[in-house]
Chain A
Amino acid sequence: MAVATASDHVGAAGGHPTIVISDVDAYLAGPAVYYRPPSLIVGVGSARGVSAREVGMLIDEALAAESLHSMSVRCVATVDLKADEEGILAAARERGWEVVTYPADVLSGVEVPNPSEVVWAEVGTPASPRRPRCMRQVVRAERRAGRREAQVGQRHGRHRKAAAQGQARDRRAGAGARDLVTPRAITALQRASVIVGLDQYVDQIRDLLRPAPG
């Protein structure tokens, strides 16, 4: 068995059964399991009154243009003024993505290859406090049509690493599946009086805990 990552996976495994961890929408000839890490963030900007179809098509085209897999999209990011823009919300909802909003002054600190006057959202870098900390300034794809645009960026490295271990908080099957929690782990949880953990993991097992005394 071989494990391949985004940078080397295509053609590298030579027909052996392979686990591919990649957001690139490419397939090996041999047997393989593809794990799509939640490594991408789609920044969306639009004029008021955009339709879900227009936004959806633009995002799909932006991903397809760079062969990026939609299952690797973690969320849609946009400016907070667009928090109620139904076209953006519906397009994200149809695809099962959450919408994350940022104030304009945070987004304006993020560099994009082709700056636009249109409202836009893009990925940032931890190097500057004005940019969203969870993101990195690598633009993987960009698409514009009329007064709409979609940009696909890559999340910060540490999150990618976490994702590759199945630690991502999302709905995909993986080692987060409830029926893969061992009986021994459940017993240990129920014996404990104090639970310490990452917030998103605590959420996953909260219902297994015994009620607090008193």
Chain B
Amino acid sequence: MIESGLGQEEERARTAVQEAQSGNAVALIGSGDAGVYAMASPALEFAATDIEVDGVPGITAAVAASNLLGRTARP
């Protein structure tokens, strides 16, 4: 388990890539969707072709919130 604070996003992505390069199965976690202003970009940037990067889609807050719209629009 490798945890770090806000503002260390690039470092986290680098750490995840390094762990994967040394043979570990790594989960780099975030909230919402990894592709929406999140960790996918730095991770893909640092990853070379020697490791496989799988994106797992997530439900980002804007999508969750938009599904409340119909409900609030009805009287």
Bound together: yes
B66 to chain A, nearest CB (A): 6
In the complex, the answer to whether A33 meets B31 with C-beta atoms within 8 Å is no
> Given the known A-B contacts A192-B25, A198-B4, are A35 and B65 also in contact in the complex, defined by CB atoms under 8 Å?
yes
Residues of the A chain whose Cβ atoms lie less than 8 Å from the Cβ of B27: 188-189, 191-192, 194-197
A127 to chain B, nearest CB (A): 16
> Given the known A-B contacts A175-B58, A175-B59, A194-B24, are A33 and B2 also in contact in the complex, defined by CB atoms under 8 Å?
no
Residues of the A chain whose Cβ atoms lie less than 8 Å from the Cβ of B19: 194, 196
Interface size of A by CB at 8 A reads: 39
Q: Which residue of the partner chain A has the closest CB to B30?
A: A201
In the complex, the answer to whether B56 meets A180 with C-beta atoms within 8 Å is no
Tell me whether B36 is interfacial, beta carbon within 8 Å: yes
In the complex, the answer to whether B36 meets A195 with C-beta atoms within 8 Å is no
Q: How far is the CA of A31 from the CA of B59 in the complex (A)?
A: 22
Residues of the A chain whose Cβ atoms lie less than 8 Å from the Cβ of B1: 194-195, 202, 209
**B38, B56, B62, B72: the one within 8 Å of A185 (CB):** B56
